[in-house]
Chain A
Amino acid sequence: MNALLTVDLGSGHIRNEQLPADIVESYIGGRGLGAYLLWSRTAPGMPPLDGQNPLMFLVGPLSGIAPGGAQVCLVYKSPATGVTLGHSLTGGNWGPELRAAGYLGLLIAGKSEQPKYLFIDNDKVELRDASHLWGKGTFETEALIKSELRDPTVRVLSIGPAGEKLVKFASVQQECFRSAARGGPGAVMGSKMLKAVAVRGSGDLSVSDPGPYAGAFAVALEKLANSGKSTRRGYSLVRWGSTISTVPHSDISELDVKNYREGWWEDVDKTGGLEYERQCRVKARSCFSCPISCMQLGVIRDGRFAGMTVNPDFDSTGTIGPGCLVTDMKGLAYLSRLGDDLGVDDASMGNVTGFAMECYEKGLLTRADLGGIDLRWGNVDGMIELWHMVVSRTGIGNLLAEGVKVAAQEIGQGAEKFAMHVKGLEMAGYAAQAHPDRALQYAVGDRGGCHHYGLTIKEQDDRAWADALVVCSWHAAFIDPPLYLNLLNAATGSCLQLPDWGLTANRMLTLSRCYNLREGMRPLSDDVLPDRLHDDALTKGPKAGAVYDRERFRVDRAAWYRERGYDEKGLPTPELLQRLGLGFVAEVVEGIRAET
């Protein structure tokens, strides 16, 4: 069950190898295993988009068998940052299907000369012509593949025109609205001329100790099923899904408002989860084997987008809605869907759009620069037009498609001060002037300006584990590490104890950091925040006046380094590397320590 399927798109060579048991025990699966494979199977300095970047689709020991074991983790060298690993998660049904086909992971090496899609039918692997799909949106692509394979039960991950055009924040989509997006995996896939990966898994999944496993399964399922009654967070997810999140985050001034200029918005109710429920919501949907069903499927009932099915969530509305001062609920729902169909990371696209709006407001970008678009705040029509330019790389779209970091460097004139990224990955829907923990997470996260990394050591560890097992990371709010270890031990026959939880998590996270170091990341100059968070105090709402003082940030960052076992330069100590079993990275780290 530790099979890694490698497909080389250039040579056509297909290999199915059993990963060594000790590697899988040490790195579990998903994001952790991906970091190990990225370190051990790539040469330093590999360009992320020249076709050689290994694009990995990894599941884990609880995929397909645990409540909430629905996710797949894509791991690759990030095109967004160029110096870090990228990891992108999506739920739905694709991950369990890959596992049922008999694999722990899929690694796509090399690039094809012609558009292809991969069809994994259990042990049969086929590269199929995709020239008739090239250029199509992800919704149509998935429907056509299911139709031509004559099987609506195959699961499909596909890119849209954005990935084909190597937009730096292109996504990989599933079931229309499920998105593996942060970091630009769609661009990696596009650079390989790979349009989609379809999988059919007809195998059964068994566990090592069925009796104890069934007991742990039942306990975990009950905790998730009761999540709506047990916590505020659980209630919100069940009742409204994550579209509600803009509202509570505005309440505490933590919401991206007007390109992160503010954290609180007087108009948040115009597009928050309550308004979505009033105007659009139809029914709840779930990922595989999760009883929470946090996804809120809806329909736009009237207006120019009438009849469109939509399914926004926080990541697809935070930067696009409040971040761009959009007050039109139906327009926002449509934009969220448009991003999914074009195949872009909605969080990054909203961030880049908000940045462009601020440039327009300040005169750094003129109407002529924008191809005639009057890109004032909240202009949904302008946003739609701009997005098509970005995805087709037309005019200013070609620059914006490179991400906010590159766009700001090119535009200059102080634009870099409000280009809200870290290491090249755009921040998501949280503004952080008033929330040091949120800001620190952005600064030190392993894939750049990431809001998923975790606010505390414990949360970071729990999420690293969730992304390795692979289960939904939100479930850590309801299922604690001992229960996950019970599930894991009964599933695989391992004997992990609670101390192993923190140790394994630190191993996975530290290896990711060391990969980033190897690729050129330097903590003191790269674990940093855009000037806006330090200079532009909030002016409205309950935290008016708040700003994240630079010196305070340096102190907080130093404290986090210490807590992780890193030195004052943010580098893992030799003692830590030994303790984590990462001796094989020590030489690289020592070289960096000597240079700085």
Chain B
Amino acid sequence: MAGEPGGAARVAGALDVNHSACSGCRLCEVVCSVNHGEGYFPRASRIRVLQFEAGPIDVPVVCHRCSDHPCVAACPPKVKALSIDPELGTVRVDNERCLGIKCSKCARACTHKTAVFFHPKTGKPLFCDLCSGAPECAKVCPTATLSYMAGSAFDGKHYAKSSPPEIARSIASRLSPIRRGRRL
């Protein structure tokens, strides 16, 4: 809608990540891969939980649909494999045109170079598509780390400002117990 953050793209909702609650169970990876027809294939998930520090500290990493889409801008003009879904604001990949991991320009353009993953078999980039508006990962997350907001409060790019290692370090230095979320 005009006037909303994100400019022309109408953003249906946003995947919120409450990082400090993540327990590293990776159920998000499991249901994402299953829901996209990959079978039980966490490495082909569009959300990945990375580990840092002693502990380890678990940090979910997923595309937050930055309004300026640096990934789309980085795709070579002759390739033009990436576009933005006008309803959801998610990144769409034309796998026929995409050069895959050999190119990786989209992945390198992503802030902190973290949120673009490559399919282990096809080598094509994987972007969160919000499961067309009802993300499975948010439904399954047992600790309320992931939740889906209808309507975005702010530009997703703000999520990308802290790198996953920085997030991990801030969690590691936390002194008080973390609220456990909706399950208790």
Contact = CB atoms under 8 A, between A and B. Distances in A.
Interface in B38-72: 38-44, 50-58
A132 B180 CA distance: 41
B39 A283 contact: no
Interface stretch (B22-30, B88-96, B124-132): B22-30
18 contacts: A100-B42, A152-B50, A176-B55, A203-B41, A203-B120, A204-B38, A204-B44, A205-B39, A225-B183, A238-B183, A282-B178, A283-B21, A286-B25, A289-B30, A297-B55, A297-B57, A309-B53, A309-B54
Interface size class of B (residues with CB under 8 A): 35 or more
Interface string A309-345: 1010000000000000000000000000000000000
A377 interface: no
A287 B54 CA distance: 16
Interface string A481-507: 000000000000000000000000000
A290 B54 CA distance: 21
Residue of B38, B51, B171 with highest tally of chain A CB at under 10 A: B51
A523 interface: no
A413 interface: no
A147 interface: no
A289 B26 contact: yes
B56 A175 contact: yes
A342 to B, nearest CB: 15
Contacts of B111: none
Given A176-B54, A206-B39, A285 B44 contact: no
Closest 6 CB pairs of A and B: A291-B142, A204-B41, A293-B23, A286-B25, A202-B120, A286-B23
Contacts of B43: 100, 153, 201-202
Contact of A238 (B42, B121, B174, B184): B184
B20 to A, nearest CB: 7
B118 to A, nearest CB: 11
A92 to B, nearest CB: 9
A205 B55 CA distance: 28
A219 B85 CA distance: 34
Contacts of A529: none
Contacts of A391: none
A309 B172 contact: yes
A277 B177 CA distance: 8
B104 interface: no
Interface of B: 20-21, 23-27, 30, 33-34, 38-44, 50-58, 120-121, 140, 142-143, 171-172, 174-178, 180, 183-184
B92 to A, nearest CB: 23
A235 B184 CA distance: 8
Interface of A: 64-65, 67, 93, 96, 100, 139, 152-153, 175-176, 201-207, 210, 214, 221, 225, 228, 235, 238-239, 277, 281-293, 297, 299, 301, 309, 311
Contacts of B20: 283
A291 B25 contact: yes
Contact of B25 (A201, A206, A290): A290
Residue of A239, A283, A284, A292 with highest tally of chain B CB at under 10 A: A283
Contacts of B142: 225, 286, 291-293
B183 A228 contact: yes
B26 A288 contact: yes
B40 A204 contact: yes
B177 A282 contact: yes
A85 B23 CA distance: 34
A239 B176 CA distance: 15
Contacts of A139: 54
B172 A299 contact: yes
Contact of A284 (B23, B54, B171, B176): B23
A228 to B, nearest CB: 6
A237 to B, nearest CB: 11
B177 A228 contact: no
Contact of B51 (A67, A175, A311): A175
Nearest to A280: B177
A281 B179 CA distance: 12
Nearest to A282: B174
A238 B120 CA distance: 34
